[in-house]
Amino acid sequence: MTSSRLHTVALVLSLLVLPACLEDGPAKIAWNDEPRALDDGWEIGAPEDHGFDREKLREAFRPFFSEDELVPAISLLVIRDGVLVAEGYARDLGDVHRKNAIMSATKSVTSLVAGIAIDRGLLDPERPLRELLPAQVAGLDERKTRITLPDLLTMRSGLDFSNDDFSMAMAHEVKGDGLRYILERPLGAEPGTRFAYQDCDPHLVSGAIQAATGKTLAAFADETLLGPLGIRDRRWLAHGDGVTYGPYGLYLKPRDFAKLGLLALRGGRWGDRQLVSPSWMLASTTSRVFPSDPVSLTGLGYGFYWWVRPEARAFFAWGHGGQYLYVVPEDDLLVVLTAEPDTNIDGGDIWPEAFFGLADRVVDSLR
Amino acid sequence: MIARILLSFACLALAWPVQASSSDDDRPNRIGFGLGVPHVQIREELTRRFRWDGFGGLLALGYEHRGAGMRHAASLELPAAWVTNRYDAGGAALALRLDYTLLVPVAELAGGRLWAGGRYRWDHALQYFADWDEEHLYWLSAHELGPAVAWELAVAPTQSLRASLSLPVVALASRPPAERTNKIDDLKSVGFLLGRPHEDMSLTSLHEYVSVEGAVAWTWSFSETWLLQASWVMRYRRHAAPLAVQLLENALVTGVAHDF
């Protein structure tokens, strides 16, 4: 029996000790906020040479490296006067070379590409869906055939297709023509009357761009936007029918993501080329609707797939998790944040109110 | 790699010649049913370097043929646990374990009998960490083969203790790829849950995959053919690729068995 007692003691000790065995590691790495010189077209500069108080800017980075704040954050870039003055990576320095899902910030890229197609006369914003996507609306409720491009660009198609269902349904259940499937959804409101943030609308815009240009959204973007910006290492997911996802699905490296923000800050100009017309940039970054649900979005405006923050005279692209291109034209300032899209693991998404705290500190660090 | 496979078979071969000195010939077959409470810990670096842990439930079914010179045992275990991390994020940890063990007596040791042999196990562990807009399944699925030993001691006429250890040396194992696009996992499909982890199986060994299981069990024969069993099982598994994952499970299991 002595033997069994020994076993019992061993058992109890093991049960007490073993549950603590696996290490609970840190979420973030050591502080780093100085941009590295890479051969990627970005000019690197010192913050104080571009109007920043270095210590205040450093303080702005504090929550980015905190274990308890902005937990999903991956990268934070600050660009002023077109110069990269601060750049931090919270999880891995190698993330500078890693493509990350920009999630719904993809919508803002879709808007840029739609603007290019319109600028080039390939896409007419006044034409309704019965002319933009005739095959997909054939035989459907006549009201759906009257949906316009501005309705889609402001999330007012009226179609009832919740984002809670859209992405997984499109990925796994919808076979064949995804655009037709979307348009067969019931109308929850008259087109053009009600804002509902739904992924189905920008996906229809992608379909319209494909129909108008003869190229997928991704291919047309490569040719007219991403290529001229020097963005060649990207991934853009497509539905099974070949139509590029318009609402999400674009994967970019942080610095390439920032190039899109700088383009927007420059009113569509990149170097000596006007890639997107100033009129489209102005139109798409001007508030057209004012979402009130959820309450935390109250006070924000929405243009053509760009969010607007009137109180800060800023506009921004925003993707789930914490993907932001935050543009402050008056200060010639761009703040870029990327984050893990699997955010529940970190206790939650970086919503605008949390991001604004960071962005405002960056703005306040300007002398 | 081939040397390791040969080594594992050599371990089995070495165990063959020794014969048992007693037998369970009267009722050589045993079936059992058990319920348990596992405490599961996971550190999946494909997500973060966090520890997830939590308690759950476990269902176990087993069959054993207790011959005089050889034992065959097969069992099925279905543990499930709800695990959380330090940010109170939750996730489900599920597993399916199916194994077959063959043991032969090799020695008398410390008043008990030492058995040795080999074990095959399919250990299919799945973790799912929920999110509103992004859903991925993580897994460590492995078909393992390696030596196993057990030591049995009769502590009373109707009671016995058994300690066992197994250490697979070769496995066909599968892990998720390091980079996956969003919306790619069809989590509503049982076929996906079982099939996807089998798409990228690769032969591996101790340099990359470590799996060890230790158990202590107490058995009480409360009638001529019925037994009550209580056990503690500790399992640890680690796979190094594409980023490290570690699973540690401690389970208390109790159940009944019937000899026939």
What is the per-residue pLDDT across A188-201, written as a single tens digit (0 to 9) for each?
A: 999 999 999 999 99
Q: What are phi and psi of A350, to 5 degrees?
A: -95, 95
Strands (E) located in B11-135:
29-44, 52-66, 71-84, 90-109, 112-129
Residues within 8 A of B (CB atoms), A 92-121 only: 101, 103
Q: How far is A176 from chain B (nearest CA, A)?
A: 17
The number of residues in chain B equals 260
Is the CB of A168 less than 8 angstroms away from the CB of B49?
no
Taking the Cβ of residue A322 and every Cβ of chain B, the question of whether any pair is shorter than 8 Å is answered with no
- Residues of chain B in contact with residue A101, where contact means CB-CB under 8 angstroms, are 134, 181-182
Q: Report the mean per-residue pLDDT for chain B.
A: 88
Q: pLDDT tens, B130-178? A: 665 566 789 999 999 999 999 999 999 999 999 999 999 999 999 999 8
Which member of A4, A23, A344 has the closest CB to residue B131?
A: A344
Residue/partner pairs of A222-230 with CB below 8 Å, 24 or more apart:
A224/A113, A224/A116, A224/A120, A224/A275, A225/A109, A225/A112, A225/A113, A225/A116, A225/A275, A225/A276, A228/A270, A228/A273, A228/A275, A229/A256, A229/A259, A229/A260, A229/A263, A229/A270, A229/A275, A230/A40, A230/A41, A230/A256, A230/A259
CA distances (Å), origin B255, targets A67, B59, B95, B161, B226? 44, 10, 19, 15, 11
Q: Do B133 and A163 touch (CB under 8 A)?
A: yes
Q: Would you call B212 an interface residue with chain A, using a CB distance cutoff of 8 Å?
A: no
Contacts for B219 with CB less than 8 Å, ≥ 6 apart? B159, B160, B161, B162, B227, B228, B229, B257
Kindly list the residues from chain A whose CB atom is less than 8 angstroms away from the CB atom of residue B181.
Answer: 101, 235, 237, 249, 251
Neighbours of B124 (CB within 10 A): 20
Give the pLDDT of chain A (367 residues) as one tens digit per residue.
455 556 665 666 555 555 558 988 888 999 999 999 999 999 999 999 999 999 999 999 999 999 999 999 999 999 999 999 999 999 999 999 999 999 999 999 999 999 999 999 999 999 999 999 999 999 999 999 999 999 999 999 999 999 888 988 998 889 999 999 999 999 999 999 999 999 999 999 999 999 999 999 999 999 999 999 999 999 999 999 999 999 999 999 999 999 999 999 999 999 999 999 999 999 999 999 998 877 778 899 999 999 999 999 999 999 999 999 999 999 999 999 999 887 667 777 899 999 999 999 999 999 8
Asked if this assembly's ipTM is beyond 0.90, the reply is: no
DSSP of A190-232: -TTT-----THHHHHHHHHHHHHHSS-HHHHHIIIIITTTT--
Report how far apart the first and last C-alpha atoms of chain B are (Å, whole number).
41
B234 lies within 8 A of chain A by CB: yes
Secondary element (H or E) of residue A180: helix A178-183
Residue A4 has its nearest CB partner, among B85, B89, B161, at: B161
Residues of A in contact with B183 (CB under 8 A): 167-168, 170-171, 237, 248-249
Residue at token pair 């919808």: A174
Its pTM stands at 0.85
The encoded tokens of residue B61 equal 């079914």
Q: Is A345 on the interface with B (CB under 8 A)?
A: yes
Strand partners, B81: B56, B93
CA distance, residue B10 to nearest chain A CA (Å): 31
Whether the per-residue pLDDT at B13 is higher than 60: the answer is no
Of the residues B133, B187, B234, the best mutation for testing chain A's interface (the one with the most A CB atoms within 10 Å of its CB) is B133
